């Protein structure tokens, strides 16, 4: 599936319909929402979400699938504070315990485990964030939640055996410490990252965008952790999001049946687009209810049929998510993976799960990197179904000088990459985007991440001043 840079062949129809950079002043919110629908597309966002979206100049809010607050009940166990609904609270998820500090032992690994705090600090210093009150605080994913993807045997080992924690973190000295201490200082923070990713995916569906200032542990799969990744937060988050949407849309469909929303649907002028969507939601909700929390419904997809595109641009192949896609038989998860083929994990078996594969050579610089990314995104719009959600695994280990990624992209190249993916998601896929930070081990990783996030906030006006 590899392909060279270049435009799609002439005459080949583009599968996604591109939208103008900003909605034209003459288009109503309802028109903007219906324009995103193609025959294969999911039901348009309910009128409430579309109306809320019209207020955002950045253009992401109109991509929201559900109205703000619609998923609050579904995620109550993972949200430590108030569910963010107002514009002053941003869909940016962070917890101080993301930063693993282990009396200096963590410094044996070429991993800046304090980078998450540095990113948030820089964003506040630059005025990109107006304070901690704008952030969403996650809770740890419990072992019960992790069991939605991970095997009982693996969960037992990671929670009780030091050897398994050592395998995942590659920090041999940890083996000598009491397991209770390891759980507290290493495994629990990792579970917090999982909780954060789960929340971010849900928030993206309500707000059109979200960022987990952490997460992206793409090497972990059902029965195995590796490469500093104990849990497959991406697959866990996707499955949770599908169930949450099925439950919320099921509840919405019931209300519509009772007549409460009937007038609104009619007013939106949906010529049949709303009705099939509502039916599908009822079916999905019924299937989810029948399977119970944590159960599967149909093809291992797990409640609902949300189509998710994972764009994995970490320098390493995302083999954990890929193995889980194969194991679970997930036919609604699509993967675009662009990575250095010459470094860890070189997992040929997992490559079968990649829909669009771009393999890079060590030392790849900005021009080639960005051209191949553009071509891969163009290809995605041609050959993959239109996604309902984009999960963007934005590893910064592509930076020149990163000891593990071994690519040679400049800080400016990373900023351009992130903006490219966000713009593609908004204008071409017209899908909400949830960004995860994933790997990034160079000393300047945190600075580059905060520069790039600041650029996204600026370009897409993600945090408009009150009253603006
Ligand atoms: Zn990586």
Q: What is the rounded CA–CA span in Å between residue 175 and residue 55? A: 53
What DSSP state is assigned to residue 20?
A: P
State the pLDDT at residue 38: 37
State the pLDDT at residue 294: 37
State the pLDDT at residue 85: 87
The contacts of residue 440 (CB under 8 Å, 6+ apart) are 112, 115, 395, 396, 397, 399, 402, 446, 448, 449
Q: How far is the CA of 262 from the centre of ligand 1 (A)?
A: 48
Q: What is the pTM of this model?
A: 0.81
Q: How far is the CA of 393 from the centre of ligand 1 (A)?
A: 10
Do the Cβ atoms of 227 and 429 come closer than 8 Å? no
Q: How far is the CA of 121 from the centre of ligand 1 (A)?
A: 23
Q: Which of 40-54, 247-261, 377-391 is most confident?
A: 377-391
Q: Given the DSSP bridges, would you call strands 433-436 and 389-393 parallel, antiparallel or unpaired?
A: parallel
State the pLDDT at residue 43: 40
Q: What is the rounded CA–CA span in Å between residue 389 and residue 200? A: 11
Q: What is the rounded CA–CA span in Å between residue 372 and residue 388? A: 24
Q: Give the tokens for residue 251.
A: 């509840």
Q: State how far Cα 280 lies from the chain centre.
A: 24
| Cα separation values, 16 from 61, 313, 428, 431, Å | 19, 21, 6, 11
Q: Tell me the backbone φ, ψ of residue 211, rounded to 5 degrees.
A: -130, 130
Q: How far is the CA of 170 from the centre of ligand 1 (A)?
A: 14
Q: What is the rounded CA–CA span in Å between residue 148 and residue 152? A: 10
State the pLDDT at residue 439: 93
Nearest CA to 333 out of 448, 439, 232 is that of 232
Q: How far is the CA of 439 from the centre of ligand 1 (A)?
A: 4
Do the Cβ atoms of 252 and 46 come closer than 8 Å? yes
Q: How far is the CA of 178 from the centre of ligand 1 (A)?
A: 29
The contacts of residue 72 (CB under 8 Å, 6+ apart) are 79, 83, 85
What DSSP state is assigned to residue 4?
A: -
Do the Cβ atoms of 219 and 321 come closer than 8 Å? no
List, for residues 221-270, the tens digit of each pLDDT value.
999 999 999 999 999 999 999 999 999 988 777 776 775 444 444 434 33
Residue 305 has pLDDT above 90, yes or no: no
State the pLDDT at residue 110: 64
Q: How far is the CA of 468 from the centre of ligand 1 (A)?
A: 39
User: Active site residue: 95, 150, 218, 219, which one?
Assistant: 219
Q: Given the DSSP bridges, would you call strands 308-312 and 209-212 parallel, antiparallel or unpaired?
A: unpaired
State the pLDDT at residue 414: 98
Nearest CA to 364 out of 313, 322, 419, 312 is that of 313
User: How does 111-134 read in b/e, with b if 16+ C-beta sit within 10 Å?
Assistant: bbbebbbbbbebbbeeebbeeeeb
DSSP 177-229: S-HHHHIIIIIHHHHHHHHHHHHHHHHHHHHSEEEESS---TT-BTTB-BTTB
Q: Is 323 a catalytic residue?
A: no
Q: How far is the CA of 199 from the centre of ligand 1 (A)?
A: 22
Q: How many CB atoms lie within 10 A of CB 154?
A: 21
List, for residues 313-323, the tens digit of each pLDDT value.
999 999 999 99
The contacts of residue 81 (CB under 8 Å, 6+ apart) are 136, 137
Tally of CA atoms within 13 A in the half-sphere of 181 that contains its CB: 10
Share of the chain above pLDDT 70, in %: 75
| Cα separation values, 273 from 126, 276, 346, 448, Å | 44, 6, 44, 43
Longest CA–CA span in the chain (Å) reads 67
Q: How far is the CA of 48 from the centre of ligand 1 (A)?
A: 39
State the pLDDT at residue 468: 61
Q: How far is the CA of 345 from the centre of ligand 1 (A)?
A: 10
Q: What is the rounded CA–CA span in Å between residue 311 and residue 195? A: 20
Q: Give the tokens for residue 462.
A: 């993600």
What domains are defined for the chain? 29-459 (3.40.800.20)
């Amino acid at each position: 599936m590899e392909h060279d840079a270049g435009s799609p062949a002439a005459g080949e129809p583009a599968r996604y319909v591109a939208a103008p950079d900003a909605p034209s002043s003459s288009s109503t919110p309802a028109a903007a929402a219906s324009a995103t629908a193609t025959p294969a597309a999911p039901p348009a966002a309910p009128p409430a979400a579309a109306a809320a979206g019209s207020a955002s100049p950045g253009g992401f809010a109109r991509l929201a699938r559900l109205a703000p607050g619609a998923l609050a009940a579904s995620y109550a166990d993972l949200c430590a504070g108030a569910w963010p609904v107002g514009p002053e609270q941003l869909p940016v998820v962070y917890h101080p315990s993301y930063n693993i500090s282990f009396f200096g032992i963590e410094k044996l690994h070429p991993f800046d485990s304090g980078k998450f705090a540095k990113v948030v600090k820089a964003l506040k210093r630059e005025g990109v964030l107006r304070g901690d009150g704008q952030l969403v605080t996650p809770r740890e994913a419990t072992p019960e939640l992790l069991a939605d993807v991970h095997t009982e045997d693996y969960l037992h080992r990671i929670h009780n055996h030091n050897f398994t924690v050592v395998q995942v973190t590659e920090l041999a000295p940890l083996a000598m410490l009491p397991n209770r201490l390891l759980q507290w200082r290493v495994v629990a923070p990792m579970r917090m990252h999982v909780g954060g990713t789960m929340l971010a995916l849900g928030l993206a569906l309500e707000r059109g965008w979200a960022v987990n200032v952490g997460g992206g542990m793409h090497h972990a799969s059902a029965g195995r952790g590796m490469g500093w990744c104990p849990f497959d937060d991406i697959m866990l988050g996707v499955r949770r999001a599908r169930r949450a949407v099925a439950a919320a849309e099921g509840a919405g469909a019931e209300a519509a049946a009772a007549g409460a929303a009937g007038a609104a649907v009619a007013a939106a002028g949906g010529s049949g687009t709303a009705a099939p969507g509502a039916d599908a939601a009822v079916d999905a909700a019924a299937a989810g209810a029948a399977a119970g929390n944590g159960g599967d419904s149909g093809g291992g997809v797990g409640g609902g049929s949300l189509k998710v595109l994972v764009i994995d641009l970490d320098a390493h192949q995302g083999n954990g998510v890929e193995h889980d896609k194969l194991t679970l038989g997930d036919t609604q998860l699509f993967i675009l993976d662009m990575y250095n083929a010459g470094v860890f994990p070189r997992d040929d078996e997992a490559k079968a799960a990649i829909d669009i594969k771009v393999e890079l050579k060590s030392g790849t610089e900005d021009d080639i990197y960005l051209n191949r990314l553009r071509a891969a995104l163009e290809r995605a719009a041609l050959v993959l179904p239109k996604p309902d959600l984009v999960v963007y695994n934005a590893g910064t280990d592509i930076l020149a000088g990163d000891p593990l990624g071994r690519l040679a992209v400049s800080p400016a190249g990373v900023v351009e990459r992130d903006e490219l993916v966000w713009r593609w998601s908004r204008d071409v896929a017209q899908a909400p985007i949830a960004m995860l930070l994933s790997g990034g081990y160079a000393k300047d990783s945190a600075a580059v991440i905060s520069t790039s996030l600041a650029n996204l906030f600026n370009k897409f006006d993600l945090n408009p001043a009150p009253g603006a």
